[in-house]
Structure 1
Amino acid sequence: MKHLLVLLSIVLSCFVFNCKGQSDDKINNISVEEMQLLLKSKDIQLVDVRTPQEFKAGFIGDAVNIDYYSPTFEEEIRKLDKKKPIILYCKSGRRSSNGSEKLEAIGFVKVYNLLGGIDQWKQKGLKVNKK
């Protein structure tokens, strides 16, 4: 009986801690493969948050460049459609993750962040465009 109670308390603890970390966040971290599927949607907005110099060296699909470090970042982001899903990416995922939080805070409905950024995209051997 004691073993059953211990097992039950362990299972319950695991359930509570796993659920605690989950929420209805509007930000979803996605893999390269998941991003490829999302890009097939015509309604998706794709934003590269790297610097203009990084963007010119190579970018994904028909991404628009809105530099996360620019003083006009929030102003430029607000020009996009908050009701349409949006994917942000950067070099490795850090800037886009921070940018995703800002988008959620200003009311974007569905925000995706590419894990590993364009580095992960390139590592998978996928195409990048150049200006």
Structure 2
Amino acid sequence: MSILKKLFGFKTTQSNVIKVLNPNDFKTQITNKKVQLVDVRTPNEFQSGHIKGAKNIDAFSGTFNKKCNTLNKEEPIYIYCRSGARSKQASKRLEALGFKEVYDLKGGISNF
């Protein structure tokens, strides 16, 4: 443990719930399967193109938690955004909401 971690209490714990998948693994896991696939971009971004079968739940909307609470927390959820930053934040929120398995697309849809 570094001195900074001791002095300032920095945590480097990794989540057992959130897994970041490279585009190939993400595609393999969602192809030809019924999965909970969520695009956390804005509705305008979603309309400009999205992964087939994705549901749009804007990570920055005031209804994000409410809409996510309608999904099955026991089933894996696959999420993505444009570049990976919003989905990373959204993953943490989903974990806090009680989701058991969250799969985040590394680099977002622009890397897909």
Q: Shared topology, TM-score over 0.5? A: yes
Correspondence for 2:4: none
Is structure 2 residue 108 aligned with structure 1 residue 117? yes
* Residues 1-131 of structure 1 mapped to structure 2, 5 A cutoff: 23=14, 25-40=16-31, 42-121=33-112
SS in 2 for 1:88: strand
The alignment's TM-score, normalised by the length of structure 1, stands at: 0.73
Q: Which runs of no fewer than 5 residues in structure 1 stay unpaired?
A: 1-19, 122-131
For structure 2, the residue ranges without an aligned partner over 5 or more in a row are 1-10
Cα 1:23–1:68 change in 2 (3 A) is closer
Larger radius of gyration: 1
* 1:97–1:113 Cα contact (<8 Å) kept: yes
CA contact (8 A) 1:93 1:115 kept: yes
* Higher-helix-fraction structure: 1
Q: Deviations over 1:40-75 (max 9, x none)?
A: 363421000000000000001200000011100100
Counterpart in 2 of 1:14?
none
1:47 is matched by which residue type in structure 2? V
Structure 2 CA distance, aligned partners of 1:31 and 1:39? 12
Number of residue equivalences: 102
Q: Deviation of residue 23 (structure 1)? A: 4.4
